[in-house]
Amino acid sequence: MTISIREERPSDYKDIECVIELAFRHAEHTDHQEHKLVEKIRETDAYQPDLTFVAVDDERIVGHIVLSKIIIKNNNGHADSLALAPVSVLPDYQGRGIGRQLIQHALSKATETGHESVIVLGHEAYYPKFGFTRASEWQIKAPFDVPDESFMALELRPNALQHVHGIVHYSRAFNE
């Protein structure tokens, strides 16, 4: 198995939707609408086509990841950041490091393109492997109730979040 990673293309959308649906079919703590979320993200100015990738095995799309623009706001201003959500891998391909490859690739590209931080709501035992820590360490909060250990942030540049605090504002795609 040789996995390659590339930017998603409009011609991939139907296959991506299937990957996302299958990846989350038996997941806990989900509304099973992640495929619709990705569609909605693409319709907003938060969509970053250069930060949305597919994992491909012999021309078959087996995984997908999206980084989209968000803002961390407080009374004194705001800071731009990215949301990592969702990451999807076909069930038959899970446990083979494809999610890890997608995340590492997306974070690397985000760093290369000058982004400074990434926020994720995810499994507290998985994302710290990539350097994510509790967002609350910077007084960054989710706009909804969520376990503190599941809401995490990553600095792509040293001290990028040093003076950042406030509430994360996701694109309208997350609120529809």
Q: Give the model's confidence band at 30: pLDDT under 50 very low, under 70 low, under 90 confident, else very high.
A: low
**What is the torsional sign of CA 171, 128, 27, 104?**
positive
Element (DSSP H or E) covering residue 1: none
pLDDT score, position 36: 84
User: Does the pLDDT at position 32 exceed 60?
Assistant: no
Q: Kindly state the DSSP code that residue 114 receives in the 8-state scheme.
A: T
Cβ count near 41 (within 10 Å): 24
pLDDT score, position 173: 86
DSSP string, 58-98: TTEEEEEEEEEEEEEEETTEEEEEEEEEEEEE-GGGTTSSH
Q: Compute the average pLDDT of residues 24-37.
A: 73
The Cα 151–Cα 96 span in angstroms is: 25
pLDDT score, position 33: 67
The percent of residues above 90 in pLDDT, for the chain, comes to 88
- Per-residue pLDDT tens digits for 38-66: 999 999 999 999 999 999 999 999 999 99
Q: Compute the average pLDDT of residues 4-24.
A: 96
The Cα 24–Cα 51 span in angstroms is: 21
Dihedral over alpha carbons 59, 89, 24, 119 (to 10 degrees): -120
Element (DSSP H or E) covering residue 7: strand 3-7
User: Does the pLDDT at position 80 exceed 80?
Assistant: yes
The percent of residues above 70 in pLDDT, for the chain, comes to 95
- Per-residue pLDDT tens digits for 119-156: 999 999 999 999 999 999 999 999 999 999 999 999 99
pLDDT score, position 166: 97
